[in-house]
Amino acid sequence: MPLTARGWATLVLGTLLVVAGLAWHYPLVAGLGGALVVIVVAELVSVLATSHVEVHREVSPTVVVRHEPCTGTLRLTGRRRRGLVRFDAMDEVDGTLVPVELPETPGATTVAVSYPIPTPRRGLLPVGPVHLRRYGLAGMAATSTETGRVEQVRVLPRRIPLGDLMPGHRHAPAGSDLSLEYGGTDLVGLHEYAMGDDLRRLHWPTSARTGTLMVREDADPAEPQVCVLLDDRVGSYGGPGEPFEEAVELVAALCRVTVDRGYPLQFRTVSGRHGVHVPGSPTRLPQREAHDLDWLLAEIDVAGSGEVTRDLPPGQDIAVVVTGSEADRHELGLLLGDAATRVVAAVDPLPLVAAEQRAGVLLLRGAGSLSLAAAWDEAAAR
Amino acid sequence: MTSTARNPWLLTAWAAGLVSVGAIALAAAWGGWQPVVLLLAAALVPILLLRGVVALGVSRWAATSVLALLLVLTAYLMSARSDTSLRGTVTDSVPLLLTAPQPYALRADLLAPVVLLTGLVALFAGLRAESRTRVGPVAAGVLLYVAAALLTTGRGDPWGILAVLLVVLAVLGWVLLDEHTEPSRRRLLVAGPALVVLVGGLASVALVPARGAFDPRTVVDPPVTVIETASPLPQLGAWAANPDDELLLVSGDAVPLRLVTLDEYDGAQWRAATRYAPFGTAVDTPLTGDRRRTATVEVQFAGLGGSWLPSPGDPIEVSEPDALVDVTTGTLHDPDPDPDTRYVVTGVADEPDPADLVGATVPTSGPALEYLDQPQLSGALAAYADRVTPDGGPYVRALAIEAAVREGRRLSPRAISGSAFWRIERFLLGTEPDDQVGTSEQFATAFAVLARRAGLPTRLVVGFRPGDRQPDGTRVIRGRDALAWPEVYFQGLGWVPFAPTPNDDTFTQGRPQLAEAPDVEPAPTTESAEPVPAAEPPPVARAADAGLGLPSWVLVASGTALVAVPLLVLAVARLVRSLRHRRRGATGAWAEVYDALILAGEPPPAWATAPQVAARADQWFGTSGATEVAARAERAAFGPAGTTVLDRPAAEVREVRRAARATVPRWRRWWWHLDPRVLRR
């Protein structure tokens, strides 16, 4: 029975009064109890008899950065108050109910209400179903029905500002995985002229041969090969807050900057469960793999075991491992291999030193992703 | 978007209101304004103090505990003035309240438990006011209301005003005090009509007569005192022997006074009532008739003595504070008699219409049968009884016995006292010269014995005639006015006194004339009391007949008829009009459409032609039939002779009528077929 606590209590009180009034022949006591029972029954009947309200809900955008606005739009047809009964709408976001402020609709019209959907955590956020709660005027009875479908909102890690990467020292010739130290620029490809290309980069011989304007694609030897490692072992993280989230945010920022610049990127997790290779993009157009990386970073989670896989390809310019305060930094430093710039970034709730150089490995410490990013920028500028 | 914040003071005010209503209901058990003020204070002070202390940041439960202790202390101080301890006051409170006379006196030992209850309930209400269910304060108010109903046997709130207040307050709290996004005004607009319906229902419940309402006093034994006192019958001789001794000085209504009513006869003597309870507490219901008279007298003891207090009937009010009463007989007893007692007493006695007496019956079941108990009569007495009792109605039998007892017997103050069987037998059947001589004791007892034998419920009353009127308006009751007389109980009429004593006309006035009056030949007496001055018609107030004398179904039926007949007339008039339209064909159909427009509240302007009106109606109601109806009506009305007469457009008329009726709000549609507006056209 959809009776509230108040409904039950009032029903019991009213029934007691009716029984006492009838047994003792006190009509007014029975009448008083009868009035209470009538209130409860009237609300119960009207709550149960209310006709259906049509609800349609949309969420946009479906991919959103954590804490960035995400809006749900609820369209409902039907009167909000019908006799003794009124209804409220609530959306269920990741298990918690988010109230929707509905306008008072006098007639049976369709109204659209927008409401913010909170994105409190990274990952796939189930949104829905919409809960419609009908309740009586005096709060004696209330029912709740679920309607609408469940939609998934992908919440990406928070974007934190990160300036630039350290310069690279060598680059890989086309078709080769090896990266050797070269100087100058290197022609790595040609493409047809498109609006926006720099005219100074026209490759005249090929243009003459083909009859169309062709543009050089040069590789910059200072373009670094970047390898980002994320320590996803549970044991590596400790301390208050969400250190793994901070680590993921820093990793996401590093990957984003790398991909935005068009540098080739190797992303690995220390446990070896995930790995993405984003090839360099001289045109700086986003690669398909970059998209995969975004989604991977949205859903990545800590792994259970403490196994470390050492399958980092050689010849990296910049190798970064992001870890927590509990990890063994020397072991992680060894993971970075022979890269020219080796950085261990540790999310440490109580960092004593922000940055230190130890055995050719730059060790950055910060309480959060923002302070680590600032420390990174400082190190990159040096 | 407005929302009523959960203001704790508002919630407290709500709870205080509910408890106050209960307190006012409780105060009705006292009457007067002082208990109302006291109980309102007992309800409001704790709840407001609790709120104030909690607002200062003190823990709710600590504050409640301290306030509860303070309440107990207050009750202790109140009970300290009375003789009992606090514990005694609390533990004995329920029996005390249920046995104390009503309406309650303003006494601390009666008020203290109720004040304590009200205060504790108010504290509970204040404690639960901010809970989400919001039932606690309502339950508190209802609890006090039920307690009041129990104390007053459901009569504390005769019109249901307090019950209505409780319901209205509870619903308003539930509707308005919750947090809502809906404006309060809109919620009130919804709650208002629902409340009106509820209140109407509750008010109609108040009109239901409460029959056999539970009286908790029946559960508690009242403090009954058993007093064994000698019957005053032997004194009759002494009073008669000193006829000029002043016994009582009386002012007020000139009615016979009853001293003691004797209802048990065991063959040897009469026994007086022994179970006495404080005035106003007893729960027994005496045997009474339907028509009763009320009389008030002020009595001053002169030489009567004894512990009985004379009264003009079953006492309903007496100024003597510690008087005890035996309700079944109406005998008043003073536990510490004072030779100069002076008191005012109001009593009611049966006064049946003399016209009803002849056809009266005696009850054949129920408590009245106890008044037939007596031991087996001896053979001679039984034979005499059967001889003097004629066939006929109970009243005729009683009169015959009265005449038979009186006939030929002599009243003498020096007669041997006693009412045992042998004395009565000798009094009735003795042959010695002094045998058939007695005081009014023997006359009345003889009547009672014979009447009980004849199946008439009879009892004996010892009392006084109204007495001699003095120049100053008071009356003096002397020894010669003392008298014992029998009374017979008739169904629905009550106790009717008889006068078997010679030369006594106290009860013979206003008797119905019997067609064949039994031969009554007063026995010549030489030493009888002087003729009693003719008692003037008693200036007594007659109890008003119940209501207008009409049964309630007549009132209900006439009220219903008052409403129903005009409605019926309207309905018939409308039906006739519709039938007439139907007979007129196409023009009648147009008239029907025109009526529908008027009934829908859209009377067409007088200047508009039928097609104009029809077009407007079609546009208004979203129909298409009105135009067709108008066209056919014009054709039928104005077409040249010989025009083909088309059928009556029944379907179109029905369509327009239905659409028009749909525009009327749902709650007003029943009026459609009765509306007299179209009849004016």
A 10 A CB-CB count for B92 gives: 15
Q: In the structure encoding, which two tokens stand for residue A213, read together?
A: 């304007």
Contacts of A175 (CB under 8 A, 6+ apart): none
Domain edge (last residue) among A200, A219, A238:
A219
Kindly report the length of chain A: 382
Average pLDDT over residues A259-273: 87
Q: For residues A59 and A40, state if they share a domain.
A: no
pLDDT at B539: 41
A360 within a domain of the structure (yes/no): yes
B443 vs B502: CA distance, rounded Å: 8
pLDDT band of residue B83 (cuts 50, 70, 90) is low
Whether residues A10 and A111 share a domain: the answer is no
Please list every residue in chain B whose beta carbon sits closer than 8 Å to the beta carbon of residue A30: 205
B143: distance to nearest CA of chain A, Å?
A: 9
Cβ neighbours for B53, distance < 8 A, ≥ 6 positions apart: B63, B67
**Quick check: is A364 in a domain?**
yes
Q: Which residues pair with B485 in a beta bridge?
A: B461
My answer on whether A232 and A374 are in the same domain is: yes
Tokens of residue A194, six digits: 């498109």
Residues A235 and A320 in one domain: yes
User: Does a structural domain hold residue A269?
Assistant: yes
B181 contact A CB<8A: yes
Measured between beta carbons, which residues in chain B are less than 8 angstroms from residue A47?
Answer: none
Residues A237 and A376 reside in one and the same domain? yes
Residue B668 phi, psi (nearest 5): -105, 0
How many beta-carbon pairs under 8 angstroms link A with B?
A: 111
* Yes or no, beta carbons of A29 and B149 under 8 Å apart: yes
Per the model's pLDDT, the better-predicted residue between B259 and B154 turns out to be: B259
Chain B residues with CB inside 8 Å of A18's CB? none
- Report all structural domains of chain B as residue ranges with CATH numbers, in order of start: 4-219 (no CATH), 225-352 (no CATH), 355-465+480-497 (3.10.620.30), 552-680 (no CATH)
Residue A174 has pLDDT above 50, yes or no: no
pLDDT of the residue at B170: 94
**Are B257 and B311 a contacting pair, CB within 8 Å?**
yes
- List all residues of chain B from 498 to 527 with a beta carbon under 8 Å from chain A: none
Range in A328-342, B79-93, B309-323, B656-670 the model is least confident about = B79-93
Look up residue B130 and give its DSSP letter: T
| Same domain assignment for residues A338 and A298 | yes
Q: E strand or H helix at B418, and its extent?
A: none
Any residues with CB less than 8 A from the CB of A35 and at least 6 apart, and which? A14, B163, B167, B198, B201, B202
Domain that holds residue A196: 185-219
pLDDT band at B435 (very low <50, low <70, confident <90, very high): confident
Whether this model's ipTM surpasses 0.90 comes out as no
Per-residue pLDDT tens for B599-637?
Answer: 888 788 888 888 889 988 888 888 888 888 898 888 888
Q: Within a domain: residue A179?
A: no
Q: Mind telling me how many Å the CA of B148 is from chain A's nearest CA? A: 10
In a domain? residue A172: no
In whole angstroms, what is the distance from residue B116 CA to residue A7 CA?
Answer: 30
Contact B189, A106 (CB under 8 A): no
The two tokens of residue B415 are: 């007669």
**What kind and span of H or E run contains B497?**
strand B494-497
In angstroms, rounded to a whole number, what is the distance separating the alpha carbons of residues B499 and B444?
Answer: 8
- HSE-CB at B483 with a 13 A cutoff on CA atoms is 27
Interhelix angle for B108-128 vs B8-27, to 10°? 150
Report how far residue A89's alpha carbon sits from residue A54's, in angstroms, rounded to the nearest whole number: 11
User: Which residues in chain B touch residue A38, judged by CB atoms under 8 angstroms apart?
Assistant: 198, 201
- A152 Cβ contact partners less than 8 Å away, ≥ 6 residues apart: A62, A124, A125, A126, A127
**A107 and A235 together in one domain:** no
* Residue A190 located in a structural domain: yes
Whether A130 and A190 share a structural domain: no
The predicted pLDDT at position B469 comes to 83
Supply the CATH number for residue A369's domain: 3.40.50
Please name the member of A17, A28, A139 whose beta carbon is closest to the beta carbon of B160.
Answer: A28
The nearest alpha carbon in chain B to A83 belongs to B190
pTM for the model = 0.58
Q: Residue B159's CB: how many other CB atoms inside 10 A?
A: 11
Give per-residue burial for A36-49: e unless 16+ CB within 10 Å, then b: bbbbbebbbebbee
Q: Which of A6, A17, A88 is nearest residue B133 as measured by Cβ atoms?
A: A6
- Let me know how long chain B is: 681
Task: State the pLDDT at residue A345.
Answer: 92
Helix (H/G/I), strand (E/B), else coil: B265: strand
Q: Which of A22, A29, A101, A115 to mutate to test the interface with B (most CBs of B within 10 A)?
A: A29
Whether residues A133 and A270 share a domain: the answer is no
Rounded-to-integer distance, Cα B248 and Cα B309, Å: 11
Looking at A161-175, B96-110, B659-673, which range is the least confident one? A161-175
Residue B533 one-letter amino acid: P
The pLDDT confidence band at residue B454, using thresholds 50, 70 and 90, is: confident
Of A286 and A19, the one with more pLDDT:
A19
A208 neighbors A154 (Cβ within 8 angstroms): no
Same-domain check for residues A250 and A374: yes
Q: Which residues contact B557 (CB under 8 A, 6 or more apart)?
A: none
Asked whether residue A165 is domain-assigned, the answer is no
Pairing of β B342-350 and β B292-301: antiparallel
CA B350 to chain centre: 18
Residue A226 forms beta bridges with which residues? A265, A318
Q: Do A199 and A131 belong together in one domain?
A: no
Please indicate whether, in this complex, the C-beta atoms of A139 and B174 are within 8 angstroms of each other. Answer: yes
Average pLDDT for chain B: 82
Closest-approach residue (CA) in chain B for A13? B139
One DSSP character per residue, B199-236 reads HHHHHHHHTS---S---GGGTSPP-PEE-----SHHHH
- Average pLDDT on B542-555 reads 55
CA-closest candidate to residue A232, choices A135, A183, A299, A317: A299
Strand B225-226 relative to strand B275-278: parallel, antiparallel, unpaired? antiparallel
Q: Is the pLDDT of residue B519 over 60?
A: no
3-state secondary structure chain A: CCECHHHHHHHHHHHHHHHHHHHHCCHHHHHHHHHHHHHHHHHHHHHHHCCCCEEEEEEECCEEECCCCCEEEEEEECCCEECCEEEEEEEEECCEEEEECCCCCCCCCEEEEEEECCCCCCEEEEEEEEEEEEEECCCCEEEEEEECCCEEEEEECCCCCCCCCCCCCCECCCCCCCCECCCCCEEEEEEECCCCCCHHHECHHHHHHHCCCEEEEEECCCCCCEEEEECCEHHHCCCCCCHHHHHHHHHHHHHHHHHHHCCCEEEEECCCCCEEEECCCCCCCCCHHHHHHHHHHHHCCCECCCCCCCCCCCCCCEEEEEEECCCCHHHHHHHCCCCCEEEEEEECCCCCCCEEEECCEEEEEECCHHHHHHHHHHHHHC
**Would you tell me the crossing angle of helices B8-27 and B34-55 to the nearest 10 degrees?**
160
Structure token pair of residue A102:
């509905």
**What gap in Å lies between CA A22 and CA A25, rounded to an integer?**
5
Q: Which two tokens stand for residue B424?
A: 């009565």
Which chain B residues contact residue A27 at CB under 8 A?
A: 154, 205-206, 208, 210
Q: How far is CA B196 from CA B164, B517, B524, in A?
A: 10, 65, 77
Q: Are A32 and B166 inside 8 Å of each other by CB?
A: yes
What distance in Å separates residue B201's CA from the closest CA in chain A?
8
Q: In angstroms, rounded to a whole number, what is the distance separating the alpha carbons of residues B361 and B368? A: 12
Tell me the chain A residues in contact with residue B149 when contact means C-beta distances shorter than 8 Å. 24, 26, 28-29
CA distance B319 to chain A (A): 32
Do the Cβ atoms of A27 and B212 come within 8 Å? no
Q: How many domains are there within chain A? A: 4
For residues A26 and A66, state if they share a domain: no
Helix (H, G, I), strand (E, B) or coil at B472: coil
Q: Tokens in use for B349?
A: 């006695």
What is the per-residue pLDDT across A38-94, written as a single tens digit (0 to 9) for each?
999 999 998 888 767 788 888 988 899 998 899 999 888 877 777 888 888 888 988
At residue B155 the predicted structure's pLDDT band, cuts being 50, 70 and 90, is confident
Rounded Cα gap, residues B273 and B262, in angstroms: 7
Q: Is the pLDDT of residue A305 over 70?
A: no
Pairing between β-strand B410-411 and β-strand B324-326 as defined by DSSP bridges: unpaired
Residues of A in contact with B170 (CB under 8 A): 36
Q: Are A316 and A227 in contact (CB under 8 A)?
A: yes
In which element (H, E) is residue B350 found?
Answer: strand B342-350
Indicate whether A176 belongs to any domain.
no
